[in-house]
Amino acid sequence: MKIKKRHILAGTIFICSFPALNAAEVIMTRQQCLEIALQDNPTVKIADWEVKKVDYAKKETLASVFPAIDFSAAYQRSIELQTIRMDFGGESQSLKMGSDNTWNLGFSASLPIIAPSLWKAINISDTQILSSLEDARASKLDLVNQVNKAYYALMLAVSSKEVIKKNYEVALINADIYKKQYENGTASEYDVLRSSVQVKNIEPDLLQADIALKQCQLQLKVLMGISADLDILPDITLNDLTDEMWAYPSDADKSLTDNTSLRSLEIQRKLLKQNVTLKKFAWIPTLGASFNLSWTSLSNGSPFRNQQFNPYSYVGVALSVPIFSGGAKYYGLKQAQVQLKEIDLQKDYLINSLNMQVDLAIDNINREAAQISTSKEGVAQAKKAYEIMQKSFEIGAASYLELRDAELANTSAQLVYLQAIYNYLVSSSELDLLLGKENF
């Protein structure tokens, strides 16, 4: 199955790569559209790169626990040597101090031995990676929802256009019937004109339906990040999905565990909690080790002759004990603790808000499922009434006005039915987004 999907995906990309194919039509499933969008959409790519960036930042922090080794080289040329004056038996003499050339070469190394703040910063980096991963997941969930709604809108546009097209074809047939009746002397010129005007009145609706279809295709292509020279058509119709539409079960899972907003807030709370600990670690002494190995050369005359480098090295430890900082550490800790309390309140508010949104989404699904059932019965009744009126009109037992009313009722019933199916699908997608269901 995976191989088949890959072949379909590769074939789609192959078609997109040829700009010479103007407005080529490709039938694609919703899943195929999702696969391409998750692969090529810039928002998802940016989110994935953000994860890599944070991972690099963690490695940068982790590098601080390893020894830092540096090499340095310096040369100094004296323009005028330092002069000092000294008294020798009451006689003052001037002495020149120093040398013309001074060379310093060496290596230095430092290593943190006790650094609690650094260790906690590494833990914070791990949590920041989780935050970036959740942001990437949120981007994908939102993109899936947008692609779903765009695909459903495309299905609605295709089905609505088909309904209007059939209504237009019927209007053409009726106009032709009146024309023939007029030629046989059984219909007036007014009836011919009225039926012809009705054909003209439907043409703008047909044009608007075609524009709506193009707009839906463009929106879906933008989300998928593919060429504008490709027209996507759904592989199924809205009617094909009605068997899967029913009221949301009362015992179904409504857990918010996977909700991306709640998970992001939990990660943010973890970050703030770690920040509180980091502020406390600012009072703990730090201990570091250092090592230095250098060579020094002093000479007069040419800087490249008669050089004799003398080695010098040492190793040591340094202890730093924080004593007083004007209360900066104390108030920094208090600020972090206040932020932690604030996010706890935000979490409670978010949970209540999400629960209400989930309940509202489920109510919409249940209401739209009932609307689908009712609309389906209305479509059947409107279709039957129209068929009866059409037969009556053909034998002259019904007026054109009565036939037109039946046509409008039939068309309206079908459009209401299609809209109800679309609303159900959109509400289901919104509920999946709220519950954090990963359909990718």
Terminal-residue alpha carbon distance, the chain: 15
Contact predicate 373/360, CB 8 Å: no
- Taking residues 349-362, what's their average pLDDT? 92
CA-nearest of 369, 383, 378 to 421 is 369
pLDDT band for 151, please (50, 70, 90 cuts): very high
Neighbour-count burial of 258, counting CB atoms closer than 10 A to its CB (0-12 exposed, 13-18 middle, 19+ buried): middle
What type of residue is 135? Answer: D
Which residue did the predictor score with more confidence, 230 or 333?
Answer: 333
Helices 328-394, 400-435: inter-axial angle, 10-degree rounding: 160
- How far, in Å, CA of 104 to CA of 76, rounded? 9
Q: Is the pLDDT of residue 371 over 80?
A: yes
Contact predicate 140/436, CB 8 Å: no
Q: Is the pLDDT of residue 64 over 60?
A: yes
Q: Is the pLDDT of residue 389 over 80?
A: yes
- Taking residues 63-81, what's their average pLDDT? 90
pLDDT band for 14, please (50, 70, 90 cuts): very low
pLDDT digits (tens, 9 = 90+) for 162-187: 999 988 888 888 788 878 878 887 77
pLDDT digits (tens, 9 = 90+) for 16-58: 443 333 457 889 999 999 999 988 888 888 888 988 888 888 8
Residue 416's CB: how many other CB atoms inside 10 A?
15
- The helix or strand, by DSSP H or E, that contains position 291, with its residue range, turns out to be strand 286-299
Q: Tell me if residue 406 falls in helix, strand or coil.
A: helix
pLDDT digits (tens, 9 = 90+) for 246-258: 777 766 778 899 9
pLDDT digits (tens, 9 = 90+) for 303-314: 888 788 899 999
What type of residue is 72? Answer: S
Look up residue 294 and give its two tokens. Answer: 């250098």
Which residue did the predictor score with more confidence, 105 or 398?
Answer: 105
| pLDDT for 12 | 45
| pLDDT for 22 | 46
Look up residue 163 and give its two tokens. Answer: 């309904």
| pLDDT for 288 | 92
Q: Is the pLDDT of residue 358 over 50?
A: yes
Contact predicate 65/120, CB 8 Å: no
| pLDDT for 6 | 39
Q: Is the pLDDT of residue 13 over 80?
A: no
pLDDT digits (tens, 9 = 90+) for 264-276: 999 999 999 999 9
- Taking residues 61-70, what's their average pLDDT? 89
Least confident interval from 49-63, 185-199, 208-222, 328-342: 185-199
CA-nearest of 274, 224, 263, 223 to 133 is 263
User: Of all residues in the chain, what percent carry a pLDDT higher than 90?
Assistant: 40
* Phi, psi for residue 85 in degrees, rounded to 5: -115, 135
Contact predicate 51/133, CB 8 Å: yes
> Could you tell me the pTM of the whole model?
0.77
Q: Tell me if residue 92 falls in helix, strand or coil.
A: strand
| pLDDT for 290 | 93
